[in-house]
Amino acid sequence: RDAEIMENNIAISLCPPNTKNALLIAAKAADELLNLSGIIAAFVLCSVNNDVSISGRSLSDLNVQVILEKLGGGGHQTVAGAQLKDISVDEAKEKLKYAIIEYIDETDKNEQKD
How does DSSP assign 51-97, residue by residue? EEEEEEEE-SSS-HHHHHHTTT-EE-SSEEEEEESS--HHHHHHHHH
Residue boundaries of the structural domains of the chain:
3-113
Reported pTM: 0.93
For residues 82-87, average pLDDT: 97
Among 5-14, 36-45, 102-111, the range scoring the smallest mean pLDDT is 102-111
Instruction: Please give the average per-residue pLDDT across 3-27, as a whole number.
Output: 93
Domain 3-113 annotated CATH 3.10.310.30? yes
